Structure 1
């Protein structure tokens, strides 16, 4: 397994990064939040006034906020040349095959453990016909739902969080602390959805557990991103697979809880590994 590094060498940036125009972080945060929140605002207003009969497609469109933030920040720091460099690194395929295995294999393992747990609790195996199906995307078969997750909250989020923000922070501080900051930004970005997304509104005090799971997920995904040479492709597949499994209507309860618990355990382990190597060069 490739050893992720920390500090000034972690971003994989070229020598021109030292001459980058300052303010990229502010540009990223502004664009990422404004784009998403402006798209979610009408949904929030409708939900709090007349209610939502179904989740509108714009809910998924709003996921492009972090991607837009990454593009804007790259252009701000170095123009089209920096944008091209960012894209080459972020979507590179030249990493060790083990990271492809991680990005695809972990969701498959979650599926097996989650379904086995559901059987142990209920005495009945989950219906395979319900795999991945969600009321947020009514009438779509699970392969189509998977593609939607990849293109929206996969690419839309990960191109920003792990594609731009994590490497940018890791140029100055360790990957461990960068992961923690990314988690805080990631949680804050979801804020409007807490008031209209049924997945969150039904949690009640359980939202604290969701936040802890997201922090652990941030450590896990940072470990994967650094290990893959700062390409987000394995993380993108992982994120889409995780959403496909946990956001499915049939997963509410046992399956989603078991998968989240596994991710938290993985996240704690990755946090420990990143903490130990926070001074590595």
Structure 2
């Protein structure tokens, strides 16, 4: 087992992350109350736990690896990007959504702004940010040792996106049985494309800064902005309106990544491109 992990570190990491997270998620779906909530959130630590196993088997210092993830002495502009870019994406998508003739609802905004920072902190710890030491702290650098930034990001993005697949069961339309198999597949495909596309911004950010901490902030900021600052009526988060919104947000993200690839000439901030 140890020999396989040393020879195939990324594959070993991915298998372990999937096994831990999917097992915990599937168990949580069979339970109720506090045990279900605990297992559901524990599943999000799968990539981190898998990465720690690989680092340990590679006989590297676990403490040094963990400390190295949290590089924080950086230009304030990087923090502004990590906190603000997801808000900008949501604002652009909301504007286009409104221009398409769909309504926006600003009435919840005051309460949501008050909840934004506490939610951001919680999401950084247990709601997405906790994945980043695995994906960007071990997965990405391992792949970039053998592949170009674009190829490495594409591979990691696919693994990262598919890892989220069990969470499709938490979608209200899916959980209630309100939509058919075709619509479920459509939502799954668009969601997976969206997540995989996100990976390019994370690669650029960590290649430029070397800081997984910023990736944690970016991940938490996106989840917070998507959950609290998407000012659409409650009914728009169900049925065809939700699917339209999901496609729109994915297209905005794809356009932004296209601009990033052009601007960086496909190198995504890598200092020594392959």
Kept in 1: contact 2:87–2:222 (CA 8 A) = no
Match of 1:8 in 2: none
**Aligned mates of 2:94, 2:207 — CA distance in 1:** 30
Match of 2:256 in 1: 266
Kept in 1: contact 2:27–2:39 (CA 8 A) = no
Q: Output the TM-score relative to the length of structure 2.
A: 0.75
Report how many residues are paired. Answer: 245
Matches within 5 A, 1:1-281: 21-45=6-30, 56-79=37-60, 81=61, 83-117=62-96, 120=99, 121-122=101-102, 124-127=104-107, 128-129=109-110, 131=112, 141-194=115-168, 196-198=169-171, 201=174, 204=184, 205-229=186-210, 231-248=211-228, 251=232, 252=237, 253=242, 258-272=248-262, 276-277=266-267, 280=273
The verdict on how the C-alpha distance between 1:186 and 1:101 changes in structure 2, with shifts beyond 3 A counting, is: same
The verdict on how the C-alpha distance between 1:177 and 1:218 changes in structure 2, with shifts beyond 3 A counting, is: same
Of residues 202-211 and 163-172 in structure 1, the stretch that sits farther from structure 2 once superposed is 202-211
Shift of 1:116: 4.0
Deviations, residues 179-221 of structure 1 (Å, cap 9, x unaligned): 0110111122123223x21168366213222222222111121
The verdict on how the C-alpha distance between 1:57 and 1:129 changes in structure 2, with shifts beyond 3 A counting, is: farther
Greater relative contact order (Cα < 8 A, sep 6+):
1
Unpaired segments ≥5 residues, structure 1: 1-19, 133-139
Kept in 2: contact 1:218–1:267 (CA 8 A) = no
The verdict on how the C-alpha distance between 1:40 and 1:125 changes in structure 2, with shifts beyond 3 A counting, is: closer
**Aligned mates of 2:84, 2:138 — CA distance in 1:** 25
**Aligned mates of 1:184, 1:101 — CA distance in 2:** 27
| RMSD of equivalent CA atoms | 3.2
Q: Output the TM-score relative to the length of structure 1.
A: 0.73
Kept in 2: contact 1:118–1:125 (CA 8 A) = no
